[in-house]
Structure 1
Amino acid sequence: MEPNDNVVGSKSPTAVAINSASKAGEWIKSRLGTIKQLDTKLSPQDLVTDVDKGAELMIRKLILTHFPDHDILGEEGVPPGAAASEAALAKASTSEYLWIIDPVDGTTNFVHGFPFFCVSIALAYRGEVVVGVIYDPIRDELFVAEKGKGAYVHGNPTLVSEDAELSNSVLAVGFNPDREFALPMNMKGINALALETRSIRAGGSAALHLAYVAAGRLSGYYEVGLNAWDVAAGALLVKESGGTVTDTAGNPYHLGVRHLVATNGKIHNELLQSLAAAEATGI
């Protein structure tokens, strides 16, 4: 069975992903500035709110209404930390159809009212991502990708940038909440890249960074210490827009990759070489 053939009530997986992301995103936007409960997970910098939990519940219900036999891996259903994330993914990896959800990617931004966060929903078929949807409710931008069918924002095809050299590129980086391993490792990379690129940006949402690489707004994105739900939808967007996604050692992307490099493809090898020279791969 092909992934898009498993349809209930004439709803395709892509349509369900779009509907779920849109509805959750609008609800999240309506809750901006009204947080009732703020907790921490991995560290005092790793935040979670009642909105994250409510949005994930909403998305789960919408998906399971159409695909009750599918499995779901959502950020809020997994304990914090790399080991728990890897264990949850390993358990879910046997699923034929696995939805991978980040209800609010950029929770810290959301908490502080900084308007750079999104809903990220991906569907993997036998371990390979076949649908990716990212919705930014503040800008009302909906990024959609289907394996082999390209990627789009508002129905217009997305294409990666034409920058051919790292020195002419604007890259996104991340300040990871894991302050024991990931953040110090990222800082090594950031220190190197700040001198080798036109400029670097840290928006605080891995999924939106990837969507922006896909749309040609950034030429690349690097971060150590990510999770499957941060990356799955965005990685497909980048690939379907003509870009390249690997781990920091240059190995092909798969759902278990935690140390990520995503680029327009043209600067990929140069970026990998810079990270290796800075001993900033995390591998």
Structure 2
Amino acid sequence: MQGSANLNLMIKAARKAGRALVKDFREVENLQVSAKGPGDFVSKADREAERIIKTDLMEARPTYGWVGEETGESEGADPTRRWIVDPLDGTTNFLHGLPHWAVSIALEHKGEIVAGVVFDAAKDEMYWAEKGAGAWMNESRLRVSGRRSMIESIFATGVPFGGRGTLPATLQDLARLMPTCAGVRRWGAASLDLAYVAAGRFDGYWERGVYPWDVAAGMILVREAGGLVSGIREGDDPLEKGALICGNANLFEEFRKVIRG
């Protein structure tokens, strides 16, 4: 696969972390698990995957900033560039032995996501995109779906767990959307929801209460595959507000209108 030096570095780091995670996934019952909060768990494997990625990326680009789910944020000597990383998106799936989780790495330059990698290690599907170079899964070019009818389309979201405050709004979204479409899926890994929109498997995705590391890489995948991405509320930045909606260009406005109510 052809890409910039940065993209190739991201792919290499994602594969390395993914191999370590697959090894632990095979022995999921033996993982050391500690509670981060209600319904939100972090494993030894999660922390080790972030260590692998951070070591590889920061040794190669020591001036870049860093935002990681487990290790937090640090500013680099170069204030215009930073890595945004979720070493294990779909931790709850992972801990329950469900093979639907991913490594997510994005590169931000001057406030814009310019490259993204989402690696579904359990299925060996490497999704990657770079600004102006299209979106790909392994060696195949990705395009969003071409569906034009809501009633023929399926959408993805994340239904809040535990006592998260976004649950009432999400239930209202579902009440408005489900009568208009062919179905809604909740698979538990935002990065893969976005990758599946880019691949045309889902026709759209929306979610509230997401973090930059959940969606940064997936956002550029969707855009480079010909899809549209915005905040749920008019004018909002998805990374700043943590509320995202995306879909193919044919359905996007109608889909967004339904979600916005």
Tell me the TM-score normalized by structure 1.
Answer: 0.85
* Within-5 A mapping of 1:151-190: 151-177=135-161, 179-190=163-174
Kept in 1, the 8 Å contact 2:82–2:109? The answer is yes
Identity %: 35
Kept in 1, the 8 Å contact 2:24–2:31? The answer is no
Q: Which residue of 2 aligns with 1:48?
A: 42
Structure 1 gap ranges (5+)? 5-10, 79-87, 278-283
What is the aligned-residue RMSD (CA, Å)?
Answer: 1.9
* Within-5 A mapping of 1:108-127: 108-127=92-111
The count of aligned residue pairs is 256
Cα separation, 2, equivalents of 1:31 and 1:273: 42
Q: Which residue of 2 aligns with 1:105?
A: 89
Q: Which residue of 2 aligns with 1:269?
A: 253
Cα separation, 2, equivalents of 1:149 and 1:112: 36
Is 2:19 the counterpart of 1:26? yes
2:69 paired residue among 64, 75, 80: 75
Residue deviations 1:95-138, cap 9 Å, x none? Answer: 31100000000000000001100000000011111110000011
Structure 2 gap ranges (5+)? none
Kept in 2, the 8 Å contact 1:97–1:126? The answer is yes
Cα separation, 1, equivalents of 2:252 and 2:236: 12
Matching residue's letter, 1:49? S
- Shift of residue 191, structure 1, vs aligned partner: 2.4
SS in 1 for 2:63: coil
SS in 2 for 1:255: helix
Residue deviations 1:180-239, cap 9 Å, x none? Answer: 412222122122222111011111000000000000000000111100000100000000
Q: Which residue of 1 aligns with 2:60?
A: 66
Tell me the TM-score normalized by structure 2.
Answer: 0.92
Kept in 2, the 8 Å contact 1:127–1:255? The answer is no
Matching residue's letter, 2:14? A
Classify 1:136/1:198 alpha carbon distance in 2 versus 1 (closer, same or farther; 3 Å). Answer: same
Is 2:181 the counterpart of 1:197? yes
Residue deviations 1:238-276, cap 9 Å, x none? Answer: 000000000112436553141110101211111111122
